Homo-oligomer: A and B are copies of this chain.
């Protein structure tokens, strides 16, 4: 049977996990926009100081870093360092024909670890909490990638 089709439950599991992670990543952009509007600051481009309907009273301070906005940018950067690699590693992992049970633990486990990481970072939990969730996700990613590498090398 072709592995890369939604009729394959393992692939469908990947598609669901990937879609959730992509929506999560996109949400960080929208959350940055929301926070910039709430804070009326945290902008980055000089032209954003022009007077417009969305920014009726421009002020040079609007270009200074704003911690509430920067927090979302840090979370987003963490996503960029992790999610694109998960998306490709997960797809390759599906092609090694893992059991559905293993695939669900790995793929949904990764999703859960990243959502918990977001919760910990967003609410400024102590570093150890955030680091624990990040580590779980990273170890899942390493496991899936090593699995792909071994299967591809010894086939």
Give per-residue flags for A77-104: 1 if the beta carbon is below 8 A from chain B beta carbons, else 0: 0001111110111011001100000000
| Size class of the A contact interface (CB-based, 8 Å) | 35 or more
Q: Is the CB of A124 within 8 A of B67?
A: no
Residue of B whose beta carbon sits closest to that of A134: B29
- Prevailing SS type, chain A contact patch: helix
- Is A64 positioned at the interface, with any CB of B under 8 Å from its CB? no
Q: Which B residues touch A82, using CB under 8 A?
A: 29
Q: Which B residues touch A48, using CB under 8 A?
A: 127
- Is A57 positioned at the interface, with any CB of B under 8 Å from its CB? no
The 9 closest A-B pairs by CB, nearest first: A19-B149, A84-B84, A15-B152, A87-B88, A47-B124, A48-B127, A22-B85, A22-B145, A19-B148
**27 sample A-B contacts, Cβ–Cβ < 8 Å, listed by A number:** A6-B96, A7-B155, A12-B152, A12-B155, A15-B152, A16-B152, A16-B153, A18-B88, A19-B89, A19-B145, A19-B146, A22-B88, A23-B146, A26-B142, A28-B81, A30-B138, A45-B74, A45-B130, A46-B67, A46-B124, A47-B125, A53-B128, A80-B84, A84-B84, A85-B87, A87-B88, A88-B91
